[in-house]
Amino acid sequence: MPEGDSLVRAAHRLRPVLAGRTLAHADLRVPRLATARLAGWTVAAVEPQGKWLLLRLTPPPGSAAAPHTLASHLKMEGRWLVTGRQARWAAPGWQVRAVLETGEHRLLGAQLGRLELVPTAHEDRLLGHLGPDLLDPAWDGGAHGARLLAEGVRRLTARPERPVGLALLDQSVVAGIGNIYRCESLLLAGLDPHRPVGSVPDAPGLLTLARDLLRANVPPAAPYVSWPRTTTGVRADPSGPYGLRVDVVDRGFPPGLPGTALDDAGTPLDATRPGPDAGTGGAAAPEARPARRAQYWVYGHRNSPCGRCGGPVTFEEFGSPQDDERQLWWCRTCQR
Ligand SMILES: [Zn+2]
């Protein structure tokens, strides 16, 4: 399931091979889009927005067509793969929803949850319902940042009876929080996920904490560095939200070489490469590598304790059965 930082990472990865390039070939394998002809169109921009990745396309010279946006939502398993033009297929054909080719590269959109093509001037038809994007640089201080925060709080508390653990996942409240940041923000804020959002003592602080956690996991666009996701880089600070300050922590990796294989969560695909989250077990990793920081406080802690208090972690399904993100981990000791 994607988190907002996954989309920023994907954009960082795709921008160097797509931005400014003209598509030599495009094949959209979604029935509604099967007749779209995008060869000759140029990728003007590659931008993340919430959990969407937007490729803004300009038509070939002389075309009367309006600029369009190819928007993909990764949902559970979706990913964009970059290969050379002559490379063998990097994903099984039945998984591929989009093939884009430039002069140098072939990009495969595999297992995309949604793929849409809309006039760029009408992106709001697709994205207009989204709340403020927590990774929008405009959150940085100033009056505009304050307005974004106020709007996020207004949306968060608009239905005060709703459990905070569900409201945080609602992309129409704020965009970018997936299950990891839902679980981890609530743990750090000490909030029971079932608590009505209207009773949360510091709603602006909760959104600020979630934003800071997301932001700390966005690697620099360049140069390319390994940047595994973690939420445990925090320290006590009475002036911060919930008495905490999120730090951008040293990931413990030297700068990666271009082409180092990481997925969009920053996890090295090469399992032999050392790292705090080289496996998928989250908290299990530190037992094998005690010198390294745990990746998460509670998220995914199936058989390991809360990273904050050492007590047992509660797992439950919390959300609609149709929701990809209904798995909830939380600590009954830390979260009241
Ligand atoms: Zn705990």
DSSP string computed for 258-306: TT--B-TTS-BSSTTS--TTSSS-GGGHHHHSTTSPPS-SSTT-SSS--
Give distance in angstroms: CA of 187 to centre of ligand 1.
7
Q: Does position 275 have pLDDT exceeding 60, yes or no?
A: no
Output the CA 305–ligand 1 centroid distance in Å: 8
Local structure of 45: helix, strand or coil? strand
> Separation of 86 CA from ligand 1 center, angstroms?
51
Note the pLDDT tens digit of each residue in 175-231: 999 999 999 999 999 999 999 999 999 999 999 999 999 999 988 887 767 778 889
End-to-end C-alpha distance for the chain, whole angstroms: 27
How high is the pLDDT of residue 272?
32
Is residue 285 over pLDDT 50?
no
Token pair listed for 42: 């140029």
Q: Say what percent of the chain tops pLDDT 70.
A: 83
If one counts every other C-beta atom within 10 angstroms of the C-beta of residue 18, the result is 22
Catalytic center residues:
2-3, 51
Q: Which tens digit of pLDDT belongs to each residue from 16-72?
A: 999 999 999 999 999 999 999 999 999 999 999 999 999 999 999 999 999 999 999
Q: Residue 219: what pLDDT?
A: 84
Cβ neighbours for 116, distance < 8 A, ≥ 6 positions apart: 33, 70, 71, 72, 126
CATH number for the domain whose boundaries are 137-330? 1.10.8.50
The reported pLDDT for the residue numbered 289 is 36
How far apart are the CA of 297 and the centre of ligand 1, in A? 8
Residue type, 1: M
State the distance from the centre of ligand 1 to the C-alpha of 180, rounded, in angstroms: 16
Q: How far apart are the CA of 280 and the centre of ligand 1, in A?
A: 21
Most confident of 88-92, 109-113, 203-207, 213-217: 203-207
The helix (run of H) or strand (run of E) holding residue 84 is strand 79-84
Could you tell me which residues come within 8 angstroms of residue 28 by beta carbon, excluding any fewer than 6 positions away?
34, 36, 38, 70, 97, 98, 115, 117
Q: Do 43 and 18 contact (CB within 8 A), yes or no?
A: yes
Residue-level pLDDT at 283: 36
* Residues having C-beta closer than 5 Å to ion ligand 1: 306, 308-309, 311, 331, 333-334
Domain locations in the chain?
4-127, 137-330
Q: Per-residue confidence at 294, pLDDT binned at 50, 70, 90?
A: confident
Q: Is 139 helix (H, G, I), strand (E, B) or coil?
A: helix
Residue 264 has pLDDT above 80, yes or no: no
Task: Please give the mean pLDDT across all residues of the chain.
Answer: 85
**In the chain, alpha helices (H):** 4-18, 124-127, 142-156, 164-167, 179-189, 203-216, 285-288
Fold equal for 4-127 and 137-330: no
CATH 3.20.190.10 fits 4-127, yes or no: yes
Q: Is the dihedral of CA 325, 55, 216, 278 positive or negative?
A: positive
The contacts found for 37-43 with CB under 8 angstroms, 24 or more apart, are 38/70, 38/100, 41/68, 43/18, 43/19
Tokens representing residue 124 in the block: 């709001």
Q: 201 alpha carbon to ligand 1 midpoint, in Å?
A: 19
**Partner residues linked to 126 by β-bridges:** none
**pLDDT higher than threshold 90 for residue 137:** no
The pTM of this model reads 0.84
Q: How confident is the model at residue 265 (pLDDT cuts 50, 70, 90)?
A: low
Structure-token match 């993909």, residue found: 72
pLDDT at 270 over 70: no
What value does the mean pLDDT take over residues 67-94? 85
Give yes or no for residue 274 having a pLDDT over 60. Answer: no
If you measure from the C-alpha of residue 310 to the centroid of ligand 1, how many angstroms do you get, rounded to a whole number?
Answer: 6
Given a cut of 80, whether residue 258 has pLDDT beyond it is no
Describe the chain by its helix, strand, coil percentages, rounded to 5: 25, 20, 55
Residue 86: pLDDT band with limits 50, 70, 90: low
pLDDT of residue 286: 36
Range scoring the smallest mean pLDDT among 112-121, 160-169, 285-294: 285-294
197 Cα: distance to centroid of ligand 1 (angstroms): 21
pLDDT at 91: 76
Residue 248 clears pLDDT 70, i.e. is over it = yes
